[in-house]
Amino acid sequence: GAGVSQSPRYKVAKRGQDVALRCDPISGHVSLFWYQQALGQGPEFLTYFQNEAQLDKSGLPSDRFFAERPEGSVSTLKIQRTQQEDSAVYLCASTSGPLNEQFFGPGTRLTVL
Amino acid sequence: GDSVTQMEGPVTLSEEAFLIINCTYTATGYPSLFWYVQYPGEGLQLLLKATKADDKGSNKGFEATYRKETTSFHLEKGSVQVSDSAVYFCALSDQGGSYIPTFGRGTSLIVHP
């Protein structure tokens, strides 16, 4: 389809493991956002890319979180040495411009045991 | 900083009942306001938006009016259907400040036949 896709949809990790979450945005969308959504909460901003440039990473909760978008398309959010508090749904959204409608992927549900 | 406050759920209604979900905001600049809907197992999708004071956004029978004097953007629908059962998120994007979207916590709507 032409929407935003994310993989995996579900990920279970043991505490201390590293994980990588992938986002495939809508083709041609220059802006890409990552969010963290805890149970019963709204999405919380993590980081923002415009093409391959990471323009804002102020929402990343610790230096264990790292995101990249090397060719300005697919993006990967990596979490090192996962902790239980990292358990959440990680959402990716793409848009043709930062103030335009955001198109969300279905999310990756991460559970850290 | 920017914030969005929306009524807690769940909101439980019978089919054809009137719906209102309250949303108020604080923003330092000139926000655009949004309602997103998240159906079970799916990503968030834009329901409607308004970009300036007194604008009314509408879609699928839902409406919301941007009220600057009361800093509100309440979501209304005259007659809900079972298929409207979902989680609804109010959000803002501040054009005069940070472009980073701010989301409310979400309100779950359950519509019974």
Question: Which of B27-31, B61-65, B90-94 is the most confident on average?
Answer: B61-65
Q: Which two tokens stand for residue A7?
A: 């993989």
Q: Do A101 and B91 touch (CB under 8 A)?
A: no
Chain segment B38-79, per-residue pLDDT in tens: 998 888 999 999 999 999 999 999 999 999 999 999 999 999
Task: Summarize pLDDT for A23-68 with one digit per residue, the tens.
Answer: 999 999 999 999 999 988 899 999 999 999 999 999 999 999 999 9
Closest CA to A107 of A3, A37, A20, A26: A37
Distance from CA of B81 to the nearest CA of A (A): 23
pLDDT at B40: 87
Predicted local confidence at residue B36, as pLDDT: 95
Q: What is the pLDDT of residues A59-103, one digit of tens each?
A: 999 999 999 999 999 999 999 999 999 999 999 999 887 667 889
Instruction: Let me know if B27 is exposed, middle or buried by CB neighbors in 10 A (0-12, 13-18, 19+).
Output: buried
Q: Which residues in A lie closer than 8 A to residue B93 (C-beta atoms)? A: 98-99
Element (H, E) at B6: strand B3-6
Q: Rounded to whole angstroms, how far apart are CA atoms A66 and A64?
A: 7
Residue A105 pLDDT > 60: yes
Which residue(s) pair with B12 in the sheet?
Answer: B110
Please judge whether A43 and B43 are an interchain contact, meaning their C-beta atoms are less than 8 angstroms apart. Answer: no
Q: What is the pLDDT of residue B100?
A: 81
